[in-house]
């Protein structure tokens, strides 16, 4: 209701400005006998056209508290539209010879009104800018970036009298902004002069106010601040800043995700909505890191119903409670089931008839699966086979499997089982109307299996931080980024594709550990030791996203690539899978496990077991 009151107030004030302007012009150009009728016509003409124009350009639903160039451009566009409408009306009236006005009267009235309306908003913006006082007892703060985000930070700090931060200066690489003063705070230099500015102004805190800053820039700033004992804070990325408004609570500590920062992902929202909206969608592994994020992001696309399937009751309970709170109007059901249970899968598909399936359920822990290979095979291969065959049998429209870069030239049981799962759905796609696809990507930050939680725990305990090898690299992506691209890949699915996400540049695990130590306010190899423990069973020094046979081609999305489909003419996949299934449900002694690995090797010749 508050915004409605403000809109009505603005309309009333604008009406008074238009009324005063039209009376003044009429008084100058007309005698007293014609003054009333001329003023009334002039007022109605300008008031109606300005109201229509300002409504069309949403000027009564804008916040003038944070007015910038965009808002004032809208005023100009609205004013230009109004004069065009008036010109059109006058042409009609001239034709019928009714109440014609001279061009001088029209232009002068228009100019006075525009000046009045523009000045009103300029004054209101200035009043808002001057409200509040900076807390000069707060920490001396340097704001990196004097753009719109940086100015919004400054305005927010001015509003919060009790803010613990006292902005002293800006830094910006735009040479035209150097030494300019913004609300009493000047631009003191570029990033190249950051060390000098920190020393000159005795800076205690730095706020990075560049929402699209790449990770490399954030890392450099953080390292400079670490060397000079300055704390670093950062604004959220662009996707988290809504309507150009920033609250003090948004200014947070730098996270490791910021250091791996990538440009914001542009999504084809219409394409995603076309296969998600009003559909029944099944998510297996819905309580896991990827599965639960798929649930969150799908909820924004108005699905008919979400089916949250998982084997672990606690994780499903957690995502159930979260969705209930965040999306009270969302229709969803929770299902506790094991994807290895074919009968149960049949029951679920028969009853719910899902249109789209996101298959995220899998065993993913590399060393654990090396010591429990049979369970990896049962779950990752035959569990996937169960769900995929049910999707085919009950006519699902799309089946999107979550895969991994560890499926490429695999050296682990986990990796090779995920590769066979890819082959299962590709083979099924050759005989089904369901669009079966897999989406392959690397490590995700924040997942349960991620190295980040382990490093954080080791740092909290005082070290050491354990890294397997100084040159080990991995591809990293945040969970929301990965899921955004998974949803996008689903919109591109035609059947049989393996989509590979552009993971950016691979990151050294040792550098990741060092950055986490620095973010904790400590120094690597001084406060916290880093110990190299050696590569574990099934691990590789680096990961790949494509096999040499697959190659890759681009898709309509710049961050999604497509691998060439497998050639099934050289293998009898159903027969090999049947042989493997018979083997794992009989004797699983050491000798048999070796035989099972030999069978796996027949399906995936590039598999090289470390055992």
Calpha distance 444→457 (Å, rounded)? 18
Burial of 119 (0-12, 13-18, 19+ CB in 10 A): exposed
372: preceding bond cis by omega (within 30 degrees): no
Calpha distance 387→345 (Å, rounded)? 7
374, 584 Cβ separation under 8 angstroms: yes
Choose the catalytic residue: 406, 418, 514, 540.
Answer: 406
Calpha distance 63→391 (Å, rounded)? 49
* Long-range CB contacts for residues 41-45, cutoff 8 Å, separation at least 24: 41/99, 41/101, 42/101, 42/105, 42/109, 43/18, 43/19, 45/86, 45/89
Q: Tell me the three-class secondary structure of 343-399, residue by residue.
A: HHHHHHHHHHCCCEEEECCCCCCHHHHHHCHHHHHHHHHHHHHHHHHHHHHCCCCEE
358, 402 Cβ separation under 8 angstroms: yes
Annotation says 418 is catalytic: no
Buried b (16+ CB within 10 A) or exposed e, 140-157: bbbbbbbebbbbbbbbbb
Dihedral sign, Cα of residue 250, residue 254, residue 256, residue 262 = positive
List the catalytic residues. 406
């Amino acid at each position: 209701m508050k915004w409605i009151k403000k809109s009505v107030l603005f309309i009333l004030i604008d009406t008074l400005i238009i009324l005063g302007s039209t009376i003044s012009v009429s008084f100058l150009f007309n005698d007293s006998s014609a003054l009333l009728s001329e003023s009334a016509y002039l007022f109605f003409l300008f008031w109606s056209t300005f109201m229509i124009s300002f409504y069309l350009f949403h000027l009564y639903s804008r916040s003038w508290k944070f007015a910038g160039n965009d808002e004032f451009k809208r005023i100009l566009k609205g004013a230009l539209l109004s004069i065009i409408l008036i010109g059109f009306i006058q042409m009609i009236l001239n034709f019928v010879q009714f109440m014609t006005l001279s061009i001088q009267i029209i232009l002068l009235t228009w100019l006075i009104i525009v000046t009045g309306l523009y000045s009103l908003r300029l004054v209101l913006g200035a009043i808002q800018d001057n409200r509040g006082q900076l807390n000069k007892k707060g920490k001396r703060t340097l704001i990196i970036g004097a753009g719109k985000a940086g100015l919004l930070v400054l305005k927010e700090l001015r509003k919060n009298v009790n803010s613990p931060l006292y902005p002293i200066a800006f830094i910006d690489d735009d040479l035209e902004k150097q030494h300019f003063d913004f609300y009493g705070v000047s631009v003191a230099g570029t990033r190249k002069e950051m060390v000098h500015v920190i020393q000159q102004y005795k800076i205690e805190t730095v706020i990075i106010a560049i929402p699209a800053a790449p990770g490399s820039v954030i890392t450099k700033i953080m390292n400079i601040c670490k060397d000079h004992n300055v704390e670093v804070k950062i604004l959220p990325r662009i996707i988290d800043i809504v309507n150009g408004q920033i609250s003090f609570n948004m200014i947070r500590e730098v996270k490791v995700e910021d250091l791996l920062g990538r440009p914001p992902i542009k999504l084809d929202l219409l394409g995603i909505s076309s296969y998600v909206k009003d559909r029944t969608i099944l998510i297996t592994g819905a309580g896991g890191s990827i599965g639960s994020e798929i649930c969150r992001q799908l909820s924004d696309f108005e699905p008919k119903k979400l089916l949250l399937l998982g084997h672990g009751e606690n994780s499903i309970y957690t995502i159930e409670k979260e969705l209930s709170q965040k999306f009270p109007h969302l229709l969803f059901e929770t299902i506790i089931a094991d994807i290895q249970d074919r009968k149960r899968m049949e029951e679920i598909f028969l009853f719910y008839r899902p249109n789209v399936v996101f298959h995220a359920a899998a065993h993913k822990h590399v060393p654990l699966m090396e010591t429990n290979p049979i369970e990896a095979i049962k779950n990752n291969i035959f569990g996937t086979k169960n769900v995929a065959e049910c999707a085919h049998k009950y006519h699902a429209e799309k089946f999107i499997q979550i895969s991994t870069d560890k499926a490429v030239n695999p050296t682990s049981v986990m990796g090779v089982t995920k590769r066979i799962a890819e082959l299962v759905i590709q083979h099924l796609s050759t005989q089904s109307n369901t669009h079966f696809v897999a989406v392959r990507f690397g490590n995700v930050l924040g997942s349960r299996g991620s190295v980040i939680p382990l490093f954080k725990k080791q740092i909290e305990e005082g070290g050491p931080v354990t890294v397997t090898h100084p040159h080990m690299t991995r591809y990293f992506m945040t969970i929301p980024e990965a899921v955004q691209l998974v949803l996008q890949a689903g919109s591109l699915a035609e059947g049989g594709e393996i989509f590979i996400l552009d993971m950016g540049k691979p990151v050294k695990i040792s550098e990741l550990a060092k950055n986490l130590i620095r973010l904790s306010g400590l120094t690597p190899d001084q406060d916290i030791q880093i110990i190299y423990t050696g590569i574990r069973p099934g691990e590789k020094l680096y990961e790949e996203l494509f096999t040499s046979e697959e190659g890759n081609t681009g898709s309509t999305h710049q961050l999604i690539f497509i691998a060439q489909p497998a050639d099934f003419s050289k293998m009898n996949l159903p027969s090999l899978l049947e042989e493997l299934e018979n083997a794992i449900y009989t004797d699983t002694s050491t000798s048999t496990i070796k035989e099972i690995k030999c069978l796996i090797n027949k399906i995936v010749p590039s598999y090289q077991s470390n055992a």
